[in-house]
């Protein structure tokens, strides 16, 4: 099979976005639109992905790992035909070529596979869609036998042609040889003074190359984004689709309209996700996990039976089975929690390891700490891990009990079975099973009289 080369057009300015960010870098489901298109091209087995860039070229280039894309600069945007022509010299003669657009992010691979199957010496593939209001789009002109003979742009169309409701999506598949024969013959003598890629359709018809048309299952698959309203429409459509898949995969969603997945969410069975949860990056939820309302969970692995209660924020952390987290817990990156752990409200964790059965139930900061098993950290306890210049570790042994409102000044080690008196400021290591008291001793003064108002 001849190699498949994908050409992605992404040189346009996107002025209707009203943005300093190039249009194709605006995010859909947390990823730039262009990255969705690149992922689709990869899924089709593209040998090379050529991306035509112009406006914001440096920013666009910097958005993907170096070496993964062949970039082609189009210095002046003289039309879609001119854009594809910039890639011609990089296309092997025997290649099949699929043209996609950086601002059309959600075309399904299956739709494009059908199109690609029509690429041959005697045919090409064209993706069209039928619209109630075709205004602004190129119209698909067919002859009496129903064969496609041309595409006419809105501004060049006669009133009869403007009545045609079948429009060009812009997406097409041709051979490199056909492009090499046709593109050099494009002219810009048309209403917009542009080199139209769409003019190759009439050339195909006169060269006896059949135009094979297919249409997507859903028009939103080929919806381009010109402004933020269209971007939001595609976002909702995509999120709804993902929510449906989650339900089919074993999650109960309190409301499928109110869950957002910006990345890759893998789930076990019998998951419950309450309203307004947001998942980012790579997240895995084990069986029987419950996610409370308003949680934000990014790059995390959550074990079987664990519950993340309302309004918790979890980032780059791994949590074992049957843990109880939140409400209002905050995990900054780098935590590993074992099974049966508990982290309660207004607790902030950072780069910490928490052993099985340990609890940090209320109002604490635990950073750069390693806790053994069955540790109890009392309310208001703070690891003082930072001296203003460097960070230091805190180690707390198995079964330790840290009283409320303790300050643990790192580096410090509390061995196993240690008890820390409430309100202590601990600056020295404590040995096994010792009680550490580090606070002013209480005096009770009898006969004390309160000051009186003059
Ligand atoms: C194009 C099609 C039209 C189709 C419509 C679907 C042509 C002539 N017309 O019209 O038939 O119905 O798309 O949306 O192809 N681009 C470049 N370099 C250029 C010009 C465009 O990279 O020199 C890119 C733009 O960034 C954009 C895409 O190509 O993503 C489409 O260009 P645009 O000028 O918007 O074409 P339309 O007028 O929408
Ligand atoms: Ca357009």
Q: Which domain holds residue 161?
A: 4-222
Q: 80: CA distance to ligand 1 center in Å?
A: 5
453 in a structural domain: no
Q: Is 393 strand, coil or helix?
A: coil
What mean pLDDT comes out for the span 34-51? 98
413 in a structural domain: yes
44 in a structural domain: yes
What are the beta bridge partners of residue 139?
A: 152, 167
User: Percentage of the chain surpassing pLDDT 70?
Assistant: 100
pLDDT tens for each residue of 70-127: 999 999 999 999 999 999 999 999 999 999 999 999 999 999 999 999 999 999 999 9
19 in the same domain as 113: yes
Q: How confident is the model at residue 19 (pLDDT cuts 50, 70, 90)?
A: very high
Contact between 272 and 291 (Cβ < 8 Å): yes
Q: What is the CATH number of the domain that holds 53?
A: 3.90.550.10
Q: What is the CATH number of the domain that holds 277?
A: 2.160.10.10
288 in the same domain as 185: no
What atom of ligand 1 comes closest to residue 197's alpha carbon?
15
353 in the same domain as 276: yes
Report whether residue 103 contacts ligand 1, using a CB cutoff of 6 Å. yes
Q: 79: CA distance to ligand 1 center in Å?
A: 7
What atom of ligand 1 comes closest to residue 82's alpha carbon?
23
446 in a structural domain: no
173 in the same domain as 248: no
Q: What is the pLDDT of residue 155?
A: 98
Q: What is the pLDDT of residue 218?
A: 97
416 in the same domain as 275: yes
Residue 357: left (phi > 0), alpha (psi -120 to 50), or beta?
left
452 in a structural domain: no
Q: How confident is the model at residue 240 (pLDDT cuts 50, 70, 90)?
A: very high
Q: 252: CA distance to ligand 1 center in Å?
A: 41
451 in a structural domain: no
Task: Please state, rounded to an integer, the average pLDDT across all residues of the chain.
Answer: 98
425 in the same domain as 313: yes
Report whether residue 340 contacts ligand 1, using a CB cutoff of 6 Å. no
444 in a structural domain: no
Given a cut of 90, whether residue 138 has pLDDT beyond it is yes
The catalytic residue positions are 362
- Give the separation between CA 199 and CA 207, rounded to whole angstroms: 13
What atom of ligand 1 comes closest to residue 151's alpha carbon?
11
Q: What is the pLDDT of residue 376?
A: 98
CA dihedral 358→359→365→369, nearest 10 degrees, is 0
359 in the same domain as 216: no
217 in the same domain as 232: no
User: Percentage of the chain surpassing pLDDT 90?
Assistant: 99
Query: 186: which DSSP letter?
Result: -
Name the domain boundary from 222, 251, 284.
222
Given a cut of 90, whether residue 152 has pLDDT beyond it is yes
Q: What is the pLDDT of residue 1?
A: 80
Distance of CA 338 to the CA centre of its chain: 28
Contact between 361 and 404 (Cβ < 8 Å): no
211 in the same domain as 257: no
Name the domain boundary from 222, 244, 270.
222
Distance of CA 355 to the CA centre of its chain: 32
pLDDT tens for each residue of 188-204: 999 999 999 999 999 99
Report whether residue 172 contacts ligand 1, using a CB cutoff of 6 Å. no
164, 170, 213: which to mutate for ligand 1, most atoms within 8 A of CB?
Answer: 170
Instruction: List the end-to-end C-alpha distance of the chain, in Å, as a whole number.
Output: 100
Q: What is the pLDDT of residue 79?
A: 97
Name the domain boundary from 189, 206, 222.
222
396, with CB counted inside 10 A (0-12, 13-18, 19+), is buried
pLDDT tens for each residue of 253-264: 999 999 999 999
Ligand lying closest to the C-alpha of residue 169:
1
Report whether residue 84 contacts ligand 1, using a CB cutoff of 6 Å. no
Query: 438: which DSSP letter?
Result: -
Q: 203: CA distance to ligand 2 center in Å?
A: 22
Q: What is the pLDDT of residue 84?
A: 98
What is the per-residue DSSP string for 256-309?
GGGEEEEEEEEE-SSEEE-TTEEEEEEEEE-TT-EE-TT-EEEEEEE-TT-EE-
Q: What is the pLDDT of residue 126?
A: 98
Contact between 168 and 138 (Cβ < 8 Å): yes
198 in the same domain as 65: yes
Q: 210: CA distance to ligand 2 center in Å?
A: 25
Q: Which residue has the tokens 């009545």?
A: 163
289 in a structural domain: yes
pLDDT tens for each residue of 46-60: 999 999 999 999 999
Report whether residue 251 contacts ligand 1, using a CB cutoff of 6 Å. no
Q: How many domains does the chain have?
A: 2
What atom of ligand 1 comes closest to residue 101's alpha carbon?
30
353 in the same domain as 406: yes
Report whether residue 197 contacts ligand 1, using a CB cutoff of 6 Å. yes
249 in the same domain as 146: no
């Amino acid at each position: 099979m001849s190699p498949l080369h994908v050409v992605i057009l992404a040189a346009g300015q996107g002025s209707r976005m009203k943005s300093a960010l190039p249009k194709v870098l605006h995010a859909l489901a947390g990823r730039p639109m262009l990255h969705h298109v690149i992922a689709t091209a990869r899924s089709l087995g593209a040998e090379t992905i050529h991306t035509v860039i112009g406006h914001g070229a440096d920013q666009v280039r910097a958005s993907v790992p170096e070496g993964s894309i062949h970039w082609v600069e189009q210095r002046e945007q003289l039309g879609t035909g001119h854009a594809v022509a910039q890639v011609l010299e990089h296309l092997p003669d025997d290649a099949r070529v699929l043209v996609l657009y950086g601002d059309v992010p959600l075309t399904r691979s299956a739709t494009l596979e059908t199109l690609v199957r029509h690429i041959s010496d005697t045919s090409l593939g064209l993706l069209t869609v039928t619209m109630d209001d075709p205004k602004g789009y190129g119209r698909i002109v067919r002859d009496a036998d129903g064969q496609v003979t041309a595409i006419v742009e809105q501004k060049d169309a006669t009133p009869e042609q403007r009545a045609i409701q079948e429009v060009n999506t812009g997406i097409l598949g041709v051979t490199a040889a056909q492009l090499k024969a046709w593109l050099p013959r494009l002219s810009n003598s048309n209403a917009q003074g542009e080199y139209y890629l769409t003019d190759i359709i009439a050339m195909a018809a006169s060269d006896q190359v059949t135009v094979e048309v297919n249409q997507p299952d859903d028009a939103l698959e080929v919806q381009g984004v010109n402004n933020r309203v269209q971007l939001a429409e595609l976002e909702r459509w995509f999120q709804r689709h993902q929510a449906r898949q989650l339900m089919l995969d074993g999650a109960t969603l309190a409301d499928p309209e109110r869950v957002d997945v910006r990345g890759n969410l893998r789930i076990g069975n019998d998951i419950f996700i309450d309203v307004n949860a947001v998942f980012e990056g790579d997240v895995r939820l084990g069986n029987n996990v419950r996610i409370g309302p308003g949680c934000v969970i990014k790059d995390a692995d959550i074990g079987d039976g664990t519950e993340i209660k309302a309004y918790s924020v979890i980032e780059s952390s791994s949590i074992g089975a049957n843990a109880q987290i939140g409400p209002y817990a905050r995990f900054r990156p780098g935590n590993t929690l074992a099974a049966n752990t508990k982290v309660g409200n207004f607790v902030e964790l950072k780069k910490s390891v928490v052993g099985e059965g340990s609890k940090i139930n209320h109002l604490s900061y635990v950073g750069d700490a390693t806790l053994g098993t069955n540790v109890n950290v009392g309310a208001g306890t703070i690891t003082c891990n930072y001296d203003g210049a460097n960070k230091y570790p805190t180690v707390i042994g198995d079964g330790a009990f840290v009283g409320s409102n303790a300050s643990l000044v790192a580096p410090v080690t509390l061995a196993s079975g240690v008890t820390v008196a409430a309100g202590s400021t601990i600056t020295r290591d404590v040995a096994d099973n010792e009680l550490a008291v580090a606070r002013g001793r209480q005096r009770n003064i009898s006969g004390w009289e309160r000051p009186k108002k003059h």
